[in-house]
């Protein structure tokens, strides 16, 4: 039996309406053979977490250009923990100051700032998925 493709949710939290980068990432993930759920713009953290639980995803990526990445990431992590989704790979991309990267990594996020390689994103998701499937 073939394993199912990696399921990835891409979320765009808050009021920031600039979603071109998120859509580019979605296309790259689809081209890499992954199943992608894109929640669209203007989502709340709870909406993103609930969609991730309903869709049974292995990875979640947030696209944040507004500067609110620390708040959104902390709130999403807390909500996922409440939902029993501690094993989901977490990523954040967008305009992320270097000074904030260590705090995001402590929360469990891989950080892909503006200009990151799309191959780097897809490779990271595959490594995370292989590690999780190997542990299960």
- Read off the DSSP letter of residue 6: P
In the chain, what's the furthest Cα-to-Cα distance? 45
pLDDT tens digits, one per residue of 81-98:
999 999 999 999 999 999
- Say whether pLDDT at 55 is over 80: yes
CA distance 41 to 94: 14
- The Cα angle at residue 82 between residues 66 and 91, in degrees rounded to 5: 40
- The fold of the 8-135 domain, in CATH, is Rossmann fold (3.40.50)
Where do the domains of the chain lie? 8-135
3-state secondary structure of 94: strand
pLDDT of residue 132: 85
User: Quick one: CA torsion of 18, 24, 26, 30, rounded to 10 degrees?
Assistant: 160
- Read off the DSSP letter of residue 43: B
Is the pTM higher than 0.85? The answer reads yes
CA distance 57 to 46: 15
pLDDT of residue 134: 78
* 25 class by beta-carbon count within 10 Å (0-12 exposed, 13-18 middle, 19+ buried): buried
pLDDT tens digits, one per residue of 94-132:
999 999 999 999 999 999 998 899 999 999 999 999 998
- Say whether pLDDT at 30 is over 60: yes
- Say whether pLDDT at 2 is over 90: no
How many Å separate Cα 44 from the centre of its chain? 14
pLDDT of residue 133: 80
Q: What is the mean pLDDT of residues 51-68?
A: 95
CA distance 28 to 64: 18
């Amino acid at each position: 039996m073939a394993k199912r493709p990696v399921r990835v949710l891409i979320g765009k939290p808050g009021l920031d309406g600039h979603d071109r980068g998120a859509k580019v990432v979605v296309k790259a993930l689809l081209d890499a053979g992954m199943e992608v759920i894109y929640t669209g713009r203007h989502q709340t953290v709870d909406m993103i977490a609930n969609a991730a639980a309903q869709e049974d995803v292995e990875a979640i990526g947030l696209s944040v250009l507004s500067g609110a990445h620390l708040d959104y990431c902390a709130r999403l992590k807390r909500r996922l923990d409440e939902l029993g989704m501690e094993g989901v790979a977490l990523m954040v991309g967008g305009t992320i100051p270097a000074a904030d990267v260590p705090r995001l990594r402590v929360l469990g996020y891989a950080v892909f700032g503006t200009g990151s390689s799309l191959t780097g994103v897809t490779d990271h998701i595959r490594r995370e998925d292989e590690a999780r499937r190997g542990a299960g």
